[in-house]
Chain A
Amino acid sequence: MPAVSKGDGMRGLAVFISDIRNCKSKEAEIKRINKELANIRSKFKGDKALDGYSKKKYVCKLLFIFLLGHDIDFGHMEAVNLLSSNKYTEKQIGYLFISVLVNSNSELIRLINNAIKNDLSSRNPTFMCLALHCIANVGSREMAEAFAGEIPRILVAGDTMDSVKQSAALCLLRLYRTSPDLVLMGEWTSRVVHLLNDQHMGVVTAAISLITCLSQKNPEEFKTCVSLAVSRLSRIVSSASTDLQDYTYYFVPAPWLSCKLLRLLQCYPPPEDGAVKGRLVECLETILNKAQEPPKSKKVQHSNAKNAILFEAIALIIHYDSEPNLLVRACNQLGQFLQHRETNLRYLALESMCTLASSEFSHEAVKTHIETVINALKTERDVSVRQRAADLLYAMCDRSNAKQIVAEMLSYLETADYSIREEMVLKVAILAEKYAVDYSWYVDTILNLIRIAGDYVSEEVWYRVIQIVINRDDVQGYAAKTVFEALQAPACHENMVKVGGYILGEFGNLIAGDPRSSPLVQFNLLHSKFHLCSVPTRALLLSAYIKFINLFPETKPTIQEVLRCDSQIRNSDVELQQRAVEYLKLSSIASTDVLATVLEEMPPFPERESSILAKLKKKKGPGAVSGNELEEGKREGGELNGAGERPGDSSAIGASNASTPSPSADLLGLRSAAPVSAAPPSAGSLLVDVFSEAGPAAPAAGANDDGFLRDLEPPTESSDSLLAEGPGDSDSAPPSVVSEDPAPPLPESDELLNKFVCKNNGVLFENQLLQIGVKSEYRQNLGRMYLFYGNKTSVQFVNFTTTVSCPGELQSQLNVQLKPVDPLVEGGAQVQQVINIECLTVFSDAPLLNIKFRYGGALQNLTLKLPVAINKFFQPTEMSSHDFFQRWKQLSQPQQEAQKIFKANHAMDTEVLKAKLLGLGTALLEKVDPNPDNFVCAGVIQTKAQQVGCLLRLEPNAQAQMYRLTLRSSKDTVAKRLCELLAEQF
C-alpha cells in the first residue's frame, strides 16, 4: 500500500481500527463490529450514491472485519464497483477485497472477470499489474479458464512494459501450477524462451521461473532454452559486480537469476553442442574460482548470495556427472566448507558431498575428507548435521575404508540421538555385510551392533549373522566364543539372546573344551536369560536346548529337568508347551543315532539366494514353479508340522529329515527361524513383499526349493558371492546394454513366461538392482496386470520409463495399454504400474516389456516378456460326461487335435496336477473319464473377436513317469499353442 497521504488517509478506518484495538474484551469488540457493520449497511443501502472515497473506506473496513475472523456477507458489489474506478487506490482496495473474499462460485465472477479484462486491455501498466496480481492471487480454475489465453499474449507482446511482463510471467506460472491443462503454450513457446534474452533483468528472473516449471513438464519443447540460459549465465558470471546496478546484491551480480538459471540447466542433460558446453564449463569454473576469492564484504548477505550460486553450480556439476575435473574441484570446495564455522554451510556441504560420493569421478576425492566427516559426526552440535555426516560416511564407504567407517559409526551409535539410531543400525549392518572381507570382523560388528542398539536391530540383521556363521566353517568357533562372552553381560538384549541361543545350539561344542565354557556353563548361561525373554525367543531357546542334548549328552538330565518343569510343559502358550513336550519325548525315546540325525547341524544356507530368486534361476529345473507348487509346499510344511505333533513318531521326522533338508530347518528354526532359511536378507529384503497371497507360502516352498537348488547350483556360485556386491561394482553389474534402443529380450524370458502359465502372481524378474513382481487378474477377454518395480538399492533410479511393444502380428491380436509410471524411483521404494490387456483374437506370442532407467548415471535397459498367454482368457465350462464326449467327437479333424507325450518333470501327485489344471483356467471335470487317473478339462477362450472352445485330456502313466496330453479345440493354432505351453508344466 502506498504511504497514506493526508487526503487519502481514511480517518474513519484508522479510528475504527484503533477502537477495536482498544477493546477490553471480546464482547466489546463484537459490539463495536456490529455497530460498524450496521453503519456500513445503512450507508450501502442509502439512496444517495456513495463517492469512491467512502466506498473504498467502507470496503476497507469490511475487509478488516473479515480478517479479524467475522463473516462478511455483503459489500461484494461495492468492491466490484471500485474495480472500475480510475483512481489507483480505489482500484487497489477493490482488487484486494476480491482476491481475499470472493469465492469462485459467486455470481459476481462475471462482473469481476469483465473488470479484469478491461484493465488488462488498458494501456496503464499499474492497472494491468493490479489485474494480473488479482488473477494470480485468486488463481482459481475459473480464472485460468478466462485468462489463460490472454496472459501469454501480454507476456510476449513487444509493447508491454517490463514490470507488466514480470507480473504476467509470474501470473502465468501460478495458473500453470493450479491448472496445467488450461495453460497451453504451443505457439508462444519460442517467444517465451526468448524472454531469457530480455534486456530487463527482472523480466528474465520472472520468466525463468515460468520456463523452469514448464520445461520440467515438457522438456522437449523448451530444449532451446539451454543455450540461451548458458549465454545469459556466462554474461552474468563474467560481469563485474557493478555492471548490473540494481541487480547486484552485496557485490554479487544477480544471485537469484544465476541460481534459477543453474536450476533450469539441471532439468536437461549436458548440452551436446561443444561450444555451448565449453561456455558452460567455463562459467562453472568461474563460479568455482570466485568462491576462492577473498570476500568483498564481511556482511553475511554477501557470502550467502555467493554460496547460493556455488551450491547450485555444484548441484549442476553433479547432475551432469561428466566432468571429472569440475567434480573434483567441487569436492575440494565442499571440503573447505566442512570446517566452516557456519552450521548451515556445513550441512549443505555434507549434503552435496553425499551426492558427489556416488559419482565415480569424485568418489576418491570425497574419501579424502573422511577424517573431517568423522569429526563432524562426533563433535557437531546440530543433530541434523550429524545425520548428514552419517549419510555421507555411508555414501563414501567402500572396501578400503569400510573398517574404519563402520568402527566410527558403531562408536557414534552409543551416543547417537534416538531419532537416527534405527537408520544408523541399518546402515552399519549393510556396510558391514557389503564390505566384509573378514567374517570374524563381521560377526564382531553385528554383535556389537546388537549390544549397543539392540532395540533398533531388525530381524533381518540377526538372521543374516546366523546365516553367515552357519555357512562359514572358519568363523563358527569364533562366533560361538564371542557370543558366549557377550551373553555373560548381566543385561543383554533379547536379540543377542536369540543369536546366542542359535549359535551355541549349533556350535556350542566348538568351545566346550574350555572349562570356563563347559556345556553346563553354557546351558546355565542361556537359561539364566530364559525367563526374561518373549515367547518367540523362549521357543528358540528350547530348540537350542534340545540341540544341546544332542551335542552334549551329559547335559541331558539337567535339560530334561528343565523341560519337564511345569512352567514349560504346562505353559499357557501352545507353541512353548508343544516344543517342551515334543523335545522331552524326543530326548527320552529316541536313540542317540536318531537324535543325532534329527538334530544334525544346520546345513549351510543356500548362498544369497532368496527363495524367490532361487526359483527364477531354476529354469533349468523340471519345469516352472507354479502357484500350485507353492500351495503344495505349504501343505507339505503343514504335514511336517503334523508329523511333529506326534512325538512318538520320531522315525517319521528322521525319514523326512533324510530326504530333504527343509524339515530340519523347520525343526530347529520352527516358525520364528523359518524365514532365516527362506529369505536371506540380501539388499532385496529391504523391499516390501508384494505377494500377499504367496507370502505365507513362500518360506516353506522356498525351503523346499533350496534343497533342489543346492544340488543344481553350479559350484561357481560359492559363498563369496553371497555378499551383495555394491551396485556400483562393475564386475557384478547387471546385464545392461547402454543404448537407447530397447535391449533384446533376456534369454531366459521365455522360461520366465512358462512360470506364469498356471499362476497369476509372482516375481517376474530380479537382479541386483531391480525386482519386478506381477499380480494379474483376468475376466473374459480383459485383463489387468499390476507390475511392481522394486528398487533394491539405496540410490534412486532416474528417468525410469517402461514401454510395452507387441511385435509382429501380435499388434492386431492383443491390445495392451500401459499407465505411465513416475520417472523417479527412490532407493528401497517400490512403484506400481497398471497394464490393461484386451485380447482381440487368438495369439501365441507374448508382448515385450522394455524397462529403462538410470542408476548412478549408467543407463539400464532390459526387456522381458509379459506373462500373458492365451490360456489366461479361459472361462471354465462345466459339462456332463455325455456332453463332453459328444463335443470331443465333434472336434475329430486332425488339425483340431494336438497331442504330446512327455516325461514327467515333477513328481506325479494327483492333487498338484489338479491344482495346476485349475490354475490353467479351465474347469476340471470329475467323473467324466472312465479311467479315474485321467484328467479331463473344458474351457472357452474368450477373445473380442471370437470364442474358442477347448477340451483337454491328460493321461498320466505312473510306472513310466510319462504323460500323454491331448487337446482339442475348434481352432487348430489354439490347441497347438496350449499343448506347447502345458507340456512344460507337468
Chain B
Amino acid sequence: MIGGLFIYNHKGEVLISRVYRDDIGRNAVDAFRVNVIHARQQVRSPVTNIARTSFFHVKRSNIWLAAVTKQNVNAAMVFEFLYKMCDVMTAYFGKISEENIKNNFVLIYELLDEILDFGYPQNSETGALKTFITQQGIKSQLQTKEEQSQITSQVTGQIGWRREGIKYRRNELFLDVLESVNLLMSPQGQVLSAHVSGRVVMKSYLSGMPECKFGMNDKIVIDKQGKGGTTDEAGKSELGGSSGKQSIAIDDCTFHQCVRLSKFDSERSISFIPPDGEYELMRYRTTKDIILPFRVIPLVREVGRTKLEVKVVIKSNFKPSLLAQKIEVRIPTPLNTSGVQVICMKGKAKYKASENAIVWKIKRMAGMKESQISAEIELLPTNDKKKWARPPISMNFEVPFAPSGLKVRYLKVFEPKLNYSDHDVIKWVRYIGRSGIYETRC
C-alpha cells in the first residue's frame, strides 16, 4: 500500500508531501530527490528502490509525482493510481504545472485525503469527486440536508459514479475510438515489432439511469455468432468492410469500473450504466493484422568522411478518400553535422540543430500517395573514431480510422423508467489513429 505521495518541481523542490503511513519518514523525500531527480545518470526506470523503500514515479512535463512505499505493493496498481491522480488534477485545474500546483495546493491535499486512505486507493471518479470537493467554497446553509445525504448515499452506494435525477433535453452520446500505433521496421521493410494500444472514450449526456450496451467486432463474439447461424450478417460485413476483415483479435483489455465484468466474463458483452460526462470506457491492445498507415523507405549513403546523402520516401497505405494529418518525419543527423541542405516536394523540412535531426512536416496527405525528401549533410571531420550509431527515423501522424481494424457495431441505450428509447439518442462515433513510437531503422 502506498506509504506516501510527493510532488516535486523540476529542481527537486517538494511541492506537495503527503505521508499516509508511519514507516515513511521525511528522509524519503530527500532520498528520491538525490537518487532520482538529481541523479548523475538519467534514471529511466519508473520504479526505484532506495534503502528498502520503493519509489514509483511519473513525470508530467516538469513535475514529478512519486509514490513511496516500504511494502511489496502491486506496481501496476500504484501507477494506475498515479495516472488517475493526474487525470483528477487535470480535470480540476487543467494542465499540471508548478504554478497550478502551487495555486491549488489546498485542493490537492483535499483530493489526496479523499482518493487515498491509509495508502489504499478510494473513489477517484472525477464526476463523483466534483460533487463534494469543489473549487469554490460551499455555503453550508445553501446546501440542503437532502443534498448532502444524497451525495453521501451516492458516493457510498452501489453506483458511485453516477447520481440520480440527471435530465437532458437532448440525449446525446459521443464515442471516440483513439488508437496509437507503434512500429519498429528494419531498413529492408521487415516489421520487427508492431502493436496498437487503443482507448474507447465516451462522452454521455443521458437522462436518468440508462443501461448501455456496447458492441464491436471482437473476434470471439463474431465467431460465436457465426456458429450461431447468422452467417449472412458476417458475409454482409465482409462485403462492406473497408479493410476486408470483419473481426479483430484483442490481446487484452481493461474497463471502466462501470462495466459489469461478470457479464463480460460470461457473455463477453459490454454493458454498463455510464457516468455522466466524459470517461474512458475501455482500453485494449492488439498485435495482429495491424494496418500500418505509412511506410518509410530510407536510403542513406556516406560520401567520404565529410558528406552524407539521405533520401527518405514515405508511402501512405490507406483508402485514397481518407486524409492523414499532422505528418512529421524526424530524420536523425550525425553529431558532427556542420551543415544540411534539404529538398522536399511536399511540406516543409528543416534541420533542427538542437535536436540533431531534420524535421519534415506535411499538413495533409491522402491515402495511396507517396512523397520524398532528400538531404545532403555536411560533416566536420573529428578525431573521434566512433562510428555514427544511426538512430531510427521516427514519424508522427494522425489518421481518421482505427489501425487495429476495430469497428463499433452498436451502442444501445435502454432507459426503462424515462420515456426515451435507443432511437431518440443522438450518437456520434469517431475514429482517430495516431502514431505512437513509429520508427524505421536506416
Contact = CB atoms under 8 A, between A and B. Distances in A.
B336 interface: yes
A25 B338 contact: no
Given A42-B338, A42-B339, A73-B336, A25 B383 contact: no
Interface in B328-384: 335-339, 353-356, 378, 380-384
B339 A31 contact: no
A716 interface: no
B382 A25 contact: no
B42 A34 contact: no
Interface in A191-228: none
- Tell me which of B10, B42, B62, B380 has the highest count of chain A C-beta atoms within 10 A of its own C-beta: B380
Given A25-B62, A73-B336, A35 B383 contact: no
A31 B355 contact: yes
Contacts of B339: 42, 45
A34 B354 contact: yes
Contacts of A76: 383
Nearest to A107: B383
Contacts of A31: 354-355
A42 B336 CA distance: 9
* Interface size classification for chain B: 10 to 19
Interface in A15-53: 24-26, 31-32, 34-35, 37-39, 41-42, 44-45
A24 B42 CA distance: 16
Contacts of B354: 31-32, 34-35, 38
Contact of B383 (A26, A34, A37, A73): A73
A534 interface: no
B355 A74 contact: no
Contact of A41 (B10, B336, B383): B336
Contacts of A572: none
Contacts of B380: 41, 44-45, 74
Contacts of A107: 383
Contacts of A39: 353
A400 interface: no
Given A25-B10, A34-B356, A73-B382, A41 B62 contact: no
B45 to A, nearest CB: 17
Contacts of B384: 71, 73
Contact of B338 (A24, A35, A41, A73): A41
A564 to B, nearest CB: 49
Interface in B310-342: 335-339
A106 interface: yes
A76 B336 CA distance: 14
A41 B355 contact: no
B338 A45 contact: yes
B334 to A, nearest CB: 10
Contacts of A35: 353-354
B337 A41 contact: yes
Contacts of A45: 338-339, 378, 380
A74 B306 CA distance: 13
A107 B378 CA distance: 23
A15 to B, nearest CB: 15
For A37, A39, A107, the residue with the greatest tally of chain B CB atoms inside 10 Å of its CB is: A37
Contacts of B355: 31, 34
A38 B380 CA distance: 10
A45 B334 CA distance: 15
A25 B355 CA distance: 15
A456 B10 CA distance: 51
A12 to B, nearest CB: 16
Given A24-B10, A25-B10, A32-B354, A38 B382 contact: no
Contacts of B378: 45
A86 B339 CA distance: 31
A869 to B, nearest CB: 61
Contacts of B338: 38, 41-42, 44-45
Nearest to A74: B382
Contacts of B42: 26
Nearest to B62: A25
Interface string B37-69: 000001000000000000000000010000000
A32 B355 CA distance: 9
Nearest to A35: B354
Contact of B337 (A26, A38, A44): A38
Query: Which residue among B338, B355, B356, B378 has the maximum number of chain A CB atoms within 10 Å of its CB?
Result: B338
Contacts of A26: 42
Interface string B371-405: 00000001011111000000000000000000000
A41 B336 CA distance: 7
A382 B338 CA distance: 61
A35 B335 CA distance: 11
Contacts of B356: 34, 38
Interface in A99-114: 106-107
A26 B38 CA distance: 10
Nearest to B37: A26
Contacts of A42: 338-339
Nearest to A30: B354
Please indicate which of the listed interface residues B339, B353, B355, B381 has the most CB atoms of chain A within 10 Å of its own CB: B353
A106 B62 contact: no
B218 to A, nearest CB: 41
B282 to A, nearest CB: 33
A35 B380 CA distance: 15
Contacts of B337: 38, 41
A31 B353 CA distance: 8
A106 B384 CA distance: 10
A59 to B, nearest CB: 14
Contact of A34 (B10, B353, B381, B382): B353
A410 B351 CA distance: 79
A71 to B, nearest CB: 8
A73 B387 CA distance: 13
A106 B42 CA distance: 31
Nearest to A33: B354
A71 B380 CA distance: 15
A399 B103 CA distance: 78
Contacts of A71: 384
Interface in B378-435: 378, 380-384
A74 to B, nearest CB: 5
B77 to A, nearest CB: 29
A62 to B, nearest CB: 12
A46 B354 CA distance: 19
A630 to B, nearest CB: 53
Nearest to A106: B383
Interface string A101-129: 00000110000000000000000000000
Contacts of B353: 34-35, 37-39
A107 B381 CA distance: 14
A107 B337 CA distance: 22
Interface in B63-79: none
Nearest to B38: A26
Interface string B214-240: 000000000000000000000000000
A42 B354 CA distance: 13
Nearest to B382: A73
Interface in B14-56: 42
A35 B338 CA distance: 11
Interface string A623-665: 0000000000000000000000000000000000000000000
28 contacts: A24-B10, A24-B62, A25-B10, A25-B62, A26-B42, A31-B354, A32-B354, A34-B353, A34-B354, A34-B356, A35-B353, A35-B354, A38-B338, A38-B354, A38-B356, A39-B353, A41-B336, A41-B337, A41-B338, A42-B338, A42-B339, A44-B338, A45-B380, A71-B384, A73-B335, A74-B336, A74-B380, A106-B383
Given A38-B337, A41-B337, A74-B381, 12 more contacts: A25-B10, A25-B62, A26-B42, A34-B354, A35-B353, A38-B353, A44-B380, A45-B380, A73-B335, A73-B336, A74-B382, A76-B383
Pairs of residues from A and B, 4 with the lowest C-beta to C-beta distance, nearest first: A38-B353, A45-B338, A73-B384, A35-B354
